[in-house]
Amino acid sequence: MLQERADVWWASLLRTRFEDGAIEVAWDEFVRLFRAKFIPEHIQVRMEQEFLSLTQGPMTVLKYEAKFAELSKYAPHIVTDERRKAKKFVMGLKPSLRTRLVSFDHRTLDEALSAACR
């Protein structure tokens, strides 16, 4: 059902917004348009708030990373590049891990994740 609605929406958008035939759309722009159409704003705000307050807590590092990756999609303006994403990830780790990792300059989330799993 959502796929059909999305297909109809996308076809309509292509006809009306991209009349000149240029249908190249940056992925970020597509995601922004899709979310605006299909995810209510209050849900987007709630998911962003959940991301902002996310910490590892009792989760394993891998479960925390999975939750982090999922919720970060709702706050792309907060994790605008890989370094910021890695820093936010490290700051949400349990204090014992965070203390060990915070002094390193992790360039990517994968680097921070690897260091946290060691």
Q: pLDDT, tens digit, for every residue of 94-113?
A: 999 999 999 999 999 999 99
Structure token digits, residue 28:
């970020």
Is residue 27 located within the same domain as residue 76? no
> Measured at the alpha carbon of residue 50, what is the angle toward residues 111 and 42, in degrees to the nearest 5?
135
Cα-based distances in Å from 90 to 12, 54, 104: 42, 11, 10
CB 89 within 8 A of CB 68: yes
Which DSSP symbol is given to 76? T
Longest pairwise C-alpha distance within the chain: 56
Return the SS3 of 1.
Answer: coil
Return the SS3 of 80.
Answer: coil
Is residue 90 located within the same domain as residue 52? yes
**Tens digits of per-residue pLDDT, 32-55?**
888 888 889 999 999 999 999 999
pTM of the model: 0.78
Is residue 106 located within the same domain as residue 53? yes
Is residue 12 located within the same domain as residue 59? no
Closest C-alpha to 93, from 106, 80, 75: 106
Is residue 45 located within the same domain as residue 103? yes
